Chains A and B, each alone.
Chain A
Amino acid sequence: MAAIGFGMLWAGYAVSFWGYTLIRGYNVTFPQLINPVHPYGTTKGQAWPPPLIASGQLLPGKASTPPPAAAAVTTA
């Protein structure tokens, strides 16, 4: 029973969290977010907050790129 409770708690949290990222317009897919081994932000080149969904794109997807915040200091 405890396992079921934890499972439902985690599933609800994951779905709600992805809803939050959609509202914020973050370009993070659901599998990226809930990856149990490397959830988003733990892989090199990923940082929080993620890059925003490009204009013209409805849902997060392939256009996902490393966030600008992860870039080296830019420009002269």
Chain B
Amino acid sequence: MTSCQGQGGTGTLYSYAQLMGLWINNGGNPAVAPVAAAIAEAESGGCSTAQNPTDNGGTQTSWGLWQISNGTHNMPVSNIYDANVNAQQAVAKYKGAGNQFTDWGTYNSGAYTKYLSPGTSPDTTVPVSATLAAASGGSDCAFSLGGQHLGVFFGHGPSLPSVCLVTKGEIRAFLGAGLIVGGAIPMMVGALILAAFAFRASGAQGAVTRAAAAVPTPAGRVAKAGTAAGTRAHKPRQPGPQWRHAKTGPNAPAQGRHAVPAGP
């Protein structure tokens, strides 16, 4: 790949097709990849270390291929010159604006149009500059295999190819999927508890039992027996003076909160 010189140091020059590939590889909509690549060309010329310290009237610094900024002079993320990180930020920005490119001045002004090349196919095999990736500590591989040197000819031999077994993104995806499933369980239990509570508190439970008891089927007879048993077990309150206002008479309790001592 060709190197280039930006204000952020020596970087990598990406072609239009590679910019499209970066956009797609980092979650961007392939349908708008030509526009995204044209914007990157207009913003940075395709140089990964492009930097504009006096952007937006000097109020902010913009960084990298898509000239990402958080509205200040601070880097949005530490490895913003990493082409993939820059593309990720650009995709997030595009999505955050409601799937529009209106956050880019070159889009609003139409300056990007002269870089448009609709017939170009995206190059999705675009690599990241190893130097930049290393400098940013940006390896996304969590566990890799190989890479050892085979010292077969007095220390001069081939190296095993390094294969990434699991990336950090894959670990996050597995963990996230587990959390979604794990969270769904208490969510369902909670919903069942609430449903049971509402079923009982609303009186629907009794209504259902009574309705089932009225059906002349074995299930209805069981429900009827259950209702009868429940009626025996939970006698309703007897309204009337002897229950609620029993202060005198033969049913007056001898003791208790509402007991009135017998007069002389």
Residues of chain A at the chain B interface (Cβ within 8 Å)? 1-2, 4-25, 47-59, 63, 65-76
B153 contacts the other chain (CB 8 A): no
Residues from 87 to 126 in B contacting A, C-beta threshold 8 Å? 88-93, 95-97, 102-106, 108
A22 to B191, CA, bound (A): 25
Question: Any chain A CB within 8 A of the CB of B15?
Answer: no
* Interchain CB contact under 8 A, B175 and A67: no
Q: In the complex, which residue of chain A has the Cβ closest to the Cβ of B68?
A: A68
Q: Please state if B168 and A19 are interface contacts (CB–CB under 8 Å).
A: no
Given contacts A12-B188, A56-B136, A74-B104, 16 further A-B contacts (CB under 8 A): A5-B190, A9-B186, A16-B179, A19-B178, A51-B76, A54-B85, A54-B136, A55-B139, A55-B140, A56-B139, A67-B93, A68-B76, A68-B89, A68-B93, A74-B62, A74-B68
Q: A15-B179, A15-B182, A16-B180 are in contact. Are A55 and B92 (CB under 8 A)?
A: no
Measured between C-beta atoms, what is the minimum distance from B191 to chain A in Å?
A: 6
Q: Is the CB of A53 within 8 A of B92?
A: no
Cβ–Cβ < 8 Å partners of A11 in chain B: 183, 186-187, 190
Q: Are A74 and B187 in contact (CB under 8 A)?
A: no
Asked whether, in the complex, the Cβ of A76 is within 8 Å of the Cβ of B190, the reply is no
Contacts of A2 in B (CB 8 A): 193-194, 197
